[in-house]
Structures are given as structure tokens and as C-alpha cells.
Structure 1
Amino acid sequence: MTSDTDVLVLGGAGVDTVVHVPELPLAFADSYMIRPGITARAGQSGDFVALGLTALGLRTHHLDMIGDDTEGDLVRALHRDHGIPLTAIPQPAGTKRAVNLVGPDGRRLSLYDDTRSTASDRLPEATVRELAAASRHAHVVITPPCAQALPLLREAGLTLSTDLHDWDGADPYHEPFALEADLVFLSATALADPERTLRDIAARGRARIVVATAGAQGAHLLADGELIHVPPAEPPAPVVDSNGAGDAFASGFLFGWLNGEDPRRCARYGAIAGAHACTVPSTRTDVITRTELLARAARPESPAATPAAVEEGDRALIPGLD
């Protein structure tokens, strides 16, 4: 069966207001003078995954609930400018938005506006079924409307991926996503024992591949029961912002996986894409291209870390690079 779309991305469309601060955590003060300024731009998790996949040559379609507001206009313009098909379901509560505080070392603190959603939010069943029928794979962002769509995607026979972000391995909200996906990404930042969490996801759910990114320490890859440490990729320029690094990793990994690559190779692609994202200021939405990714992947890899090095890396996780 032929498909019009390689990856259907569900959820995660929104606008971030980026504020550069002198330090994180930010000390209390009456006011701060901010340079290089305060910028609002479209680009949350689903947006960044869709951008990354498109730049890597995968036919991508984005589906989410978006408001009839200024933020929604920014989201629609982002997709239009990059040639990404967008199906926007009206969201009366408004388009998702957040404030990102970015420190001098590139770490970030995100503040999400929780008023931009309601418990009754749903992606229309007929729309999900129609788009799923024309797609090879679905990447599902962990928002409530997307949780409701999981059974429909399964019925359509799609493979699924998701990103649990900074899940602690216990919060029940994340479990439907973790257990229904064939490929699970998450950050190791909040995990006391990454290996235990990865193996628990694989044992209780459908996933044959689970990846916990660990910032500058690389990533933990569980593939068909084997745990592998993935070395970090060398950033091509100074690190300025970690925003979008995890989404870039997922995009690079999916590029390899959907092209039948070995999981180790997929993780190498993910690491390269994530490292590239850390060199892009959060006020921009530049992503690595297919040509750049393949050229960097052709260079010799760093030697794999020893088990002792992995353990040391777990103690030295860099918050935000996830």
C-alpha cells in the first residue's frame, strides 16, 4: 500500500516566548534588562519534530488543535513557510504557548500556559482516521487529545513513536503513550535508574526500542533487549541553546528507522541532529538538513563509552539537553 505521508505528527503545535536570563535559577530582583531581547516564535515539540523530519526529506503532516489568535497565525505561518501540511482543529481556549527562560550555558526552563486546553479537547475521530489511512507512521506528542487518538492510530495499523520528555518513570499520565508506542523517547534527567525504566517500558508495553537521551553524556538505547550507550555527537559550533534538542534527536532517529537502518545507526543520526540543534539560538527554527546529517554521520564515530563511563554520565546529566 502506498502512503501520501511518511509521518503524521499529532499535537505539540504552539508558540514560545524566549527570554534570555543571566543565570538559572534566576535570582529574585525587581527587574532585569534583557538582551538580545524577548522573542515570540512558533515552535513547540510537534512543530520541531515536523520541521526536522521535513528537512530530512520525509513527507510529514501535522495535526493539532490551534486557536484563532496571534499565536495560531504564527504556527500556521511556520508550516506554510516550510511547506509542511497542517490540519488545524479549532481550539476555543487558544493556541498553546509557553515562556522559555534560557541561561548563558544554553539550559532552559519552560513555563507552560495551562489555560490553553480543556479536559474535553478531542481530535475529531474522522480526521484522525483519514490522515492515519494515508500515513506510514505516527509520532504522538503527550497531550490529552493525542491520548484519545492512540486507539484510532493502532486500528489504522500504523507504527507509533512518542517522546515522554522528562518523565520520572512513575507518573501515570505518561503510561498510555509509553505502553502503546513501538518506539519511545524520553529524557534521562528525572530518572534515578535509566536502565530500569527503559526495561520496564519494553516489558509492559509494545516498544522494541526505547531511548533515554542524556544531554552531553549521549543516550541510553534499549533495542531488542540489548542496552547500548550511544556516545554524544560533537556540536558543529558553540552550544547556545538546548531548546528543541530532544525533538531533533527524535527526528534524526526516525529518519534512520523509517529507512530501515540499524538502531545504533539511527541513534547516531539522532545524536548528530540533537547536537546541531544545541548550536541554534532558540529565537530561530533552523534544523539540520539531510545532506548535512549524512555528511556528519559519514565521519568516524567517537568510541563507545564503557559501563563505568555510562554510570558517571548518569551522575552528570545536564538539565535541558534532552
Structure 2
Amino acid sequence: MGHPLDVVVIGCVGLDTNVYLPGRDIDFEVEANFTENLDCVGQAGGYASRGYARLGLRTGFIGHVGDDFAGRAIRETLAADGIDVRALAPDPGGTARSVNFMYGDGRRKNFYDCKRHADPDPALCRAVMAGARLAHVNIPDWARRLLPLAREAGLRIACDLQDVVDPADPYRRDFMEAADLLFFSGTNFPDPAPFMRRLAAQRPDRVVVCGRGAQGCAVATGREVRFFPAVDTGTPVLDTNGAGDALAVGFLTAYVLEGRSLEEAALRGQLGARHTCGLRATSDGLISRAQLEAAVARVRAKG
């Protein structure tokens, strides 16, 4: 690579199979259900790394794929996006596969592949991180071992706690303690403010972001929690997979990499997430730089 990377994404990538149900639920009284099944490059690491690349950022990815048809397709897709895949390690257990049941009313049930992965090569990870500005870390177990390496390399660390339930969850403790910026889904928190204040109070310079779906998002700094309403772009919601990753990508790009305000970062993150909801069973076509700037301009024009 001729220049240092802007961001290094650390997490899982895999092949997602989205199963679209024709009725309200699965009919367990019959042996066969007829559904529409669509595959795409997915999981948090896939959506996040491809999202940064679409915004024109120099992006690296640290994760695993197998030496199989899915792994080869993923490696080729990320490389074609211009993503540095030096640390996309071979996994003898094969490429992760996940299944997402998609309901017509917008609900979904995700079945994530729980393959265990070996720790990536520390020397190679240091080489990929060298000179980068941001580490966007998801929460597979092996990723916790890379948090000290990212800190040593001087990167800002952002961690996505995803659908956290227990604020004292021991599995997520390392990620909570290491992060300069924390993201989580508000699906388990009707009022996320107390949890956000607790996380933000641990470090005076920490930023905490909660994605709230159709209710928008919330951002905490210190003891202050600000709620931002959802941005209506007038486009239908087809698929919410990857929306939380897009929120984080848009927010972090604006706030950390471009030095914009929290308000501007929240807007850009939400616009990226809203765009992703209009894509059905694909991580292709995530919001581009030109599309994002046009969307911001439309929002500003509405006042």
C-alpha cells in the first residue's frame, strides 16, 4: 500500500443467507416452506469495511475466511473494493455462514455462525494498523487480543457492542474498557439514557452512540445524552441488515476522520443507515460519497 490506511476494520465477515418469508411466520405444521433465499457478503465486518471503501477511505480488514467457494468470493469482493486484505487470514474451519429470517413486517431473526477462529498474526496486524487513524472493532472473542495492538499503534478505537443486554456483561467488558467510542443497538433499551451515561462516565472524552432504528439515534458525551430523530428520506425500508454498521461508519467517518461536529456525524450516520435499509439482501451499493453529500444537501434544503 502506498499510503497508510485511514481505518482498519476488525471483525467477522461471512456469507449471509437472507430467507424472506411469504407469510407472517414459519409454518412448522408442514415439512416444506417456500421462501426467497438470497446470499450476500455480510456480517458486521463485511458491511463496515465495504461501507468505508464506498466513502473513498483507505480501508483495511482483519478477519478470517476459509479456502472454499464462499471465502474466495468474499476475498475477491473485498479486494475489488480496494480493501487491504493482507490480514484476511485463512480459516481451516471454513468461511462463516449466517442465516437471517426476514419477516414481511420488518422483523428479523439472525442465526450467526459460531465458528471459532484462531488469533490473527500480531506482526501482520501491526503492519496493517501502522499509520492508520481508526480501528473499528466488532466483538468476536479473538478481536479482544488486538485491542492493545491498536492502542500501541495510536489508533482511536471504536467498538460496536451490538445488541448488548446486560451493562455488566463480562464478555463485552474488554471492549467497553478499551473503546474511545462505543456503539450499541437500543433494541433492548426502551430508554437507553441511563446505560449511555454509565458508559460515557467511565471516560471523560468518550462518545457513546445508540442506534434506535425508526426512532433515530442518541449520542452521549459525559453526562449529557442527546436524542436525534430519524431522518426521513422518503424511501421504503426493505432490509435492516447492515443498518447499524452503516450508522457507525457514517458517524465515525464524519466525527473521527473528518473532524465534523457530533450533530453532523449523527446526521451522516443516519443517512448511511437509511440508505442501507433500502438495499435488499446485499452489501453492494452501500452509500457512496457523492450519494451521501447529495442526501445531506437535501436535508439541509428542507430546513
Is TM > 0.5 for Structure 1 vs Structure 2? yes
- State the distance in 2 between where 1:302 and 1:187 align: 30
> Can you list the C-alpha shifts for 1:199-238, whole angstroms capped at 9, x where unaligned?
1112235762101111000011113432111111113421
1:50 aligns with 2:53: no
Per the alignment, residue 107 of structure 2 pairs with 107
Q: How does 1:108-123 map to 2 (within 5 A)?
A: 108-114=108-114, 116-118=115-117, 121-123=118-120
SS state at 2:198 partner: helix
SS state at 1:239 partner: coil
Per the alignment, residue 89 of structure 1 pairs with 89
Letter in 2 for 1:94: G
1:144 aligns with 2:144: no
Per the alignment, residue 26 of structure 1 pairs with 26
Q: CA deviation at 1:104?
A: 1.4
What is the TM-score of this pair, normalised by structure 2?
Answer: 0.92
Q: CA deviation at 1:264?
A: 1.1
Please say if residues 179 and 201 of structure 1, whose CA atoms lie closer than 8 Å, have aligned partners that are also in contact: no
1:166 aligns with 2:163: yes
Q: CA deviation at 1:7?
A: 0.2
> Can you list the C-alpha shifts for 1:225-277, whole angstroms capped at 9, x where unaligned?
32111111113421111011001111111120110000111010011111111
Q: CA deviation at 1:23?
A: 4.6
1:134 to 122, 131, 134: 131
What is the TM-score of this pair, normalised by structure 1?
Answer: 0.86
Q: CA deviation at 1:91?
A: 1.3
- State the distance in 2 between where 1:302 and 1:160 align: 34
Q: CA deviation at 1:111?
A: 0.5
1:14 aligns with 2:14: yes
Letter in 2 for 1:84: I
> Can you list the C-alpha shifts for 1:41-97, whole angstroms capped at 9, x where unaligned?
212111111111111121111111221112211211221232222132121112221
Q: CA RMSD in A?
A: 2.2
- State the distance in 1 between where 2:106 and 2:58 align: 31
Per the alignment, residue 71 of structure 2 pairs with 72
Q: CA deviation at 1:284?
A: 5.0
Letter in 1 for 2:135: A
- State the distance in 1 between where 2:143 and 2:40 align: 23
2:241 to 240, 243, 246: 243
Letter in 2 for 1:183: L
- State the distance in 2 between where 1:155 and 1:125 align: 12
Per the alignment, residue 262 of structure 1 pairs with 261
Q: 1:102 to 1:301 in 2, by over 3 A?
A: farther
Please say if residues 204 and 221 of structure 2, whose CA atoms lie closer than 8 Å, have aligned partners that are also in contact: no
- State the distance in 2 between where 1:225 and 1:196 align: 9
- State the distance in 2 between where 1:300 and 1:283 align: 26
Q: 1:223 to 1:294 in 2, by over 3 A?
A: farther
Per the alignment, residue 204 of structure 1 pairs with 202
Please say if residues 8 and 62 of structure 1, whose CA atoms lie closer than 8 Å, have aligned partners that are also in contact: yes
Q: How does 1:291-310 map to 2 (within 5 A)?
A: 291-300=290-299
Per the alignment, residue 213 of structure 1 pairs with 211
- State the distance in 2 between where 1:236 and 1:127 align: 44
SS state at 2:6 partner: strand
Please say if residues 139 and 172 of structure 2, whose CA atoms lie closer than 8 Å, have aligned partners that are also in contact: yes
- State the distance in 1 between where 2:3 and 2:110 align: 36
273-282 or 230-239: bigger deviation: 230-239
> Can you list the C-alpha shifts for 1:145-189, whole angstroms capped at 9, x where unaligned?
111111111111110111111001232211211221111111010
> Can you list the C-alpha shifts for 1:18-55, whole angstroms capped at 9, x where unaligned?
11013565342322111xx3122212111111111111
Q: 1:72 to 1:269 in 2, by over 3 A?
A: same
Q: CA deviation at 1:107?
A: 2.9
Letter in 1 for 2:84: P
